[in-house]
Chain A
């Protein structure tokens, strides 16, 4: 859907972006990950022409983006800024309604769409006449997202959308983000320097360094088959956590030893990742769970101990 070919951007002698290429498929969520100053924002801004590339080109649905007026292009692409960039002189309703207004939507249509978004993003409707300065950071972030989603654009660009939030709020919003149907229908490019976030939200990750893409792959590919020491080093600190998050019970199925069948409900799908499973176990009284492999219908009663053993064996074998 979005195709980037040989894209470069020079600021004077500085090569901010050095000949990068990648592709994002429809409904995919691509993460641009990397250290500060590696060129993530620059890359993102070239896609909606806030920055014009020095060379290379970008295609959306096979059409070169320079064929269109920048304003027209931008109205079809949702953009969420790191510090939200809400208009301080507009109310929440006006902020969300800005792109519909630019596209001359009818007032009634804008209004119902705004209310729909507020509901989806779990915001109270009485917030509509508030000004951004009267909102919490989390609320502002959601309004920023709502503004980008207002006209339901097929493409969403997000520059560190959760960067300014505390960890608890961030975790909640991540969960909502993943649950939001509307976002599943979008092609998303999201910039972050938060490794966990990248692994949680991304279908694919481009790890960047000094204006180049070092590795482009799925989260587990990056984790388990790093192309070089830079990638391995970048993920090292959070290795264990990430491995928990990227490993599914299903991956361990052949290594699992049944402890004992137990009566606890419910029966969990083996697609669950280890991290989420551990969170679940933490919340229940017993440390035993029933897990079903939907491929063959098998149900195993598993204990925490047994799962951990299988996990370490699995990692060693990689």
Chain B
């Protein structure tokens, strides 16, 4: 590897454009939410000083809102407000509400009653008392509330990136999923600085005496509006379609970087959390998304995969991997496991995933139904010769495969079966296999290549051109290094993929990523 390791400063300079956009978005989101919180919180705070019987309920609800974990809150909001700035701003607004309501309430109730009485006695009306006496005198306390709200909002705004609303969270969470420290810091340091700077500025305002605060109160709304408008300042290049990519996909060579480099793809891109991406695509809020090619949601939301005609996504063909020694020990095993070879293509796997993930059928049932339909099912022989232990990683597709293999072994051999499913990620599964805690598990060629073998970039590029080449390469290397054999591929390729809604892709005549790129570059 001859890649130069960037230091943080170099990274920030290299990414200055993005950093600027994210920072402006961050400030913008913060202050839009803040303005709303002041517009609602201030009158509400005033209202409960007049109707004290509601103060407990209002403050109570505002406190409860604040204790809802941010991710959960965003989750609640997506069905109602979709993705993008709307739910992000609404969530931030809810968090900013409590300090503003509470401080308005305490500020006003804390005004010396004899001053209020004097105001009444001079013949001021209720509104005159509010604007001439109560609000000016409560202003330092209200300011303190706005200050707290600002700091909270700057912090929580990092989560806006989960739902495609931008902000410095894009770097922070992208950096976390890519294990890229520079990227994390490039987001985290500016975010922390923003909090510190705003806190400092507001603390200066707060210390000014009451009279001066009044003149500032007149300037402040304008200032807030200006800051809020920053969100709209950076308009990324507009394109006919909108893409939503996970933070991880954004930063990977076999992801967005490759798309730009190899396909010259220029698309208006937002960063979004995997959990909400498919839903957003389905609801027309996004046009192109990054996903996994056998994800059940492909079927659920009627999406199609764009063909990776320039092969930037490494093939992830699934096949059982097993030690040569185990194959010798159980001679019937290899043929039995190969019964499944070539039987499940991408769309079948997607369908099966859809059945478990969306229709909530059990993996056992789905596995059995599939085998029956394909005339592979045989009733169990009830053999007890010895017990084969099947492993699987911790997601739906692997459960289904493990169950199919269990049924095949029981029906075709005299071996009994035990399963160890849910073995977390690749590392855990592979170690379990190496240490003979399991006998085999389904692995993906791309994972074997990138996560276990980890060859040089050059090799990766050379090997990824074709699925056969990849398969042969991992099979040979595994045999050499671990004495482990890759059995015949099951058929499907669970790789990164770009997806679009079927009807949109059809009407635009887009079938491949190249066609997508060409379409976008047309004027």
Write the residues of chain A forming the contact surface with B, with a CB cutoff of 8 angstroms. 48, 50, 70-75, 79, 81-89, 91, 98-99, 102, 131, 147
Residues of A within 8 A of B6 (CB): none
Q: Is B411's beta carbon under 8 Å from chain A?
A: no
> B211 contacts A131, CB within 8 Å?
yes
> A87 contacts B115, CB within 8 Å?
yes
> A85 contacts B123, CB within 8 Å?
no
> A99 contacts B211, CB within 8 Å?
no
> Roughly how many angstroms separate A89 CA and B133 CA in the complex, as a whole number?
8
> B121 contacts A83, CB within 8 Å?
no
10 contacts between A and B (CB under 8 A): A71-B123, A74-B122, A85-B121, A87-B115, A88-B112, A88-B115, A89-B136, A89-B210, A98-B122, A99-B123
What's the count of A-B pairs with C-beta under 8 Å? 59
Residues of A within 8 A of B118 (CB): 79, 81, 84-87
Residues of A within 8 A of B117 (CB): 50, 81, 85
Q: What is the CB-to-nearest-CB distance from A109 to chain B, in angstroms, rounded to a whole number? A: 17
Residues of A within 8 A of B132 (CB): 87
Q: What is the CB-to-nearest-CB distance from A258 to chain B, in angstroms, rounded to a whole number? A: 55
Residues of A within 8 A of B119 (CB): 87
> B123 contacts A74, CB within 8 Å?
yes
* Contacts beyond the supplied A85-B118, A85-B121, A131-B211: 8 A-B pairs with Cβ under 8 Å: A71-B125, A75-B122, A81-B118, A81-B121, A85-B114, A87-B115, A87-B118, A87-B119
> Roughly how many angstroms separate A192 CA and B211 CA in the complex, as a whole number?
34
How many chain B residues touch A (CB < 8 A): the figure is: 20
- A85-B115, A87-B115, A88-B115 as given contacts; A102 in contact with B211, CB under 8 Å: no
Q: Is B124's beta carbon under 8 Å from chain A?
A: yes
> B123 contacts A72, CB within 8 Å?
yes
Q: Write the B209-249 contact mask toward A (1 if CB under 8 angstroms, else 0).
A: 01100100000000000000000000000000000000000
Q: What is the CB-to-nearest-CB distance from A202 to chain B, in angstroms, rounded to a whole number? A: 22
Residues of B within 8 A of A82 (CB): 114
Which of the listed residues B112, B118, B123 has the most CB atoms from chain A within 10 Å of its own CB? Answer: B123
Q: What is the CB-to-nearest-CB distance from A77 to chain B, in angstroms, rounded to a whole number? A: 8
SS class of chain A's interface: helix, strand, loop or mixed? Answer: loop
Q: Is B179's beta carbon under 8 Å from chain A?
A: no
Q: What is the CB-to-nearest-CB distance from B205 to chain A, in angstroms, rounded to a whole number? A: 16
> CB-nearest residue of chain B relative to A98?
B122
Q: What is the CB-to-nearest-CB distance from B130 to chain A, in angstroms, rounded to a whole number? A: 14
Residues of A within 8 A of B121 (CB): 48, 50, 74, 79, 81, 85
Residues of B within 8 A of A131 (CB): 211
> A75 contacts B114, CB within 8 Å?
no
Q: Is B284's beta carbon under 8 Å from chain A?
A: no
Q: What is the CB-to-nearest-CB distance from B277 to chain A, in angstroms, rounded to a whole number? A: 53
> Roughly how many angstroms separate A79 CA and B136 CA in the complex, as a whole number?
23
Residues of B within 8 A of A87 (CB): 115, 118-119, 132-133
> Roughly how many angstroms separate A20 CA and B117 CA in the complex, as a whole number?
24
SS class of chain B's interface: helix, strand, loop or mixed? Answer: helix
Q: Is B164's beta carbon under 8 Å from chain A?
A: no
Q: What is the CB-to-nearest-CB distance from A95 to chain B, in angstroms, rounded to a whole number? A: 9
> B125 contacts A89, CB within 8 Å?
no
Q: What is the CB-to-nearest-CB distance from A193 to chain B, in angstroms, rounded to a whole number? A: 18
Residues of A within 8 A of B189 (CB): none
> B210 contacts A50, CB within 8 Å?
no
> Roughly how many angstroms separate A70 CA and B128 CA in the complex, as a whole number?
14
Q: Is B516's beta carbon under 8 Å from chain A?
A: no
- A50-B117, A89-B137 as given contacts; A79 in contact with B210, CB under 8 Å: no
Q: What is the CB-to-nearest-CB distance from A41 to chain B, in angstroms, rounded to a whole number? A: 10
Q: Is B394's beta carbon under 8 Å from chain A?
A: no
> B115 contacts A75, CB within 8 Å?
no
> Roughly how many angstroms separate A249 CA and B271 CA in the complex, as a whole number?
99
Q: Is B71's beta carbon under 8 Å from chain A?
A: no
Q: What is the CB-to-nearest-CB distance from A79 to chain B, in angstroms, rounded to a whole number? A: 4
> B114 contacts A83, CB within 8 Å?
yes
> Roughly how many angstroms separate A77 CA and B136 CA in the complex, as a whole number?
25
Residues of B within 8 A of A89 (CB): 133, 136-137, 210-211, 214
Q: Is B120's beta carbon under 8 Å from chain A?
A: yes
Question: Which 8 residue pairs are nearest across A and B when measured between Cβ atoms?
Answer: A85-B118, A75-B123, A74-B123, A79-B121, A89-B210, A85-B114, A71-B123, A89-B136
> Roughly how many angstroms separate A89 CA and B118 CA in the complex, as a whole number?
13
> CB-nearest residue of chain A relative to B137?
A89
Residues of A within 8 A of B128 (CB): 102
Q: What is the CB-to-nearest-CB distance from B141 to chain A, in angstroms, rounded to a whole number? A: 13
Q: What is the CB-to-nearest-CB distance from B428 to chain A, in angstroms, rounded to a whole number? A: 66
> Roughly how many angstroms separate A85 CA and B132 CA in the complex, as a whole number?
14
Residues B107-157 near A (CB distance < 8 A): 112, 114-115, 117-125, 128, 132-133, 136-137
Residues of B within 8 A of A88 (CB): 112, 115, 137, 210
> CB-nearest residue of chain A relative to B113?
A85
> Roughly how many angstroms separate A59 CA and B461 CA in the complex, as a whole number?
100
- A89-B137, A89-B210, A89-B211 as given contacts; A102 in contact with B115, CB under 8 Å: no
> CB-nearest residue of chain B relative to A131?
B211
> B123 contacts A102, CB within 8 Å?
yes
Q: What is the CB-to-nearest-CB distance from B217 to chain A, in angstroms, rounded to a whole number? A: 12
> Roughly how many angstroms separate A165 CA and B21 CA in the complex, as a whole number?
63
> Roughly how many angstroms separate A86 CA and B118 CA in the complex, as a whole number?
7
> B122 contacts A102, CB within 8 Å?
yes
> CB-nearest residue of chain A relative to B119?
A87
Q: What is the CB-to-nearest-CB distance from A164 to chain B, in angstroms, rounded to a whole number? A: 12
Contact of B124 among A50, A71, A83, A91 (CB under 8 A): A71
> Roughly how many angstroms separate A83 CA and B121 CA in the complex, as a whole number?
14
Which of the listed residues B112, B122, B132 has the most CB atoms from chain A within 10 Å of its own CB? Answer: B122
> B115 contacts A79, CB within 8 Å?
no
Residues of B within 8 A of A86 (CB): 115, 118
Q: What is the CB-to-nearest-CB distance from B375 to chain A, in angstroms, rounded to a whole number? A: 88
Q: What is the CB-to-nearest-CB distance from A58 to chain B, in angstroms, rounded to a whole number? A: 16
> B122 contacts A79, CB within 8 Å?
yes
Residues of A within 8 A of B114 (CB): 81-83, 85
> Roughly how many angstroms separate A222 CA and B165 CA in the complex, as a whole number?
81
> CB-nearest residue of chain A relative to B120?
A50
> CB-nearest residue of chain A relative to B133?
A87
> CB-nearest residue of chain A relative to B115?
A85
> CB-nearest residue of chain A relative to B213?
A89
Residues of A within 8 A of B123 (CB): 70-75, 99, 102
Residues of A within 8 A of B210 (CB): 88-89
Contact of B120 among A72, A74, A83, A147 (CB under 8 A): A74
Q: What is the CB-to-nearest-CB distance from B216 to chain A, in angstroms, rounded to a whole number? A: 13
Residues of B within 8 A of A50 (CB): 117, 120-121
Which of the listed residues A71, A83, A87 has the most CB atoms from chain B within 10 Å of its own CB? Answer: A87
> Roughly how many angstroms separate A99 CA and B128 CA in the complex, as a whole number?
12
Which of the listed residues A81, A85, A98, A147 has the most CB atoms from chain B within 10 Å of its own CB? Answer: A85
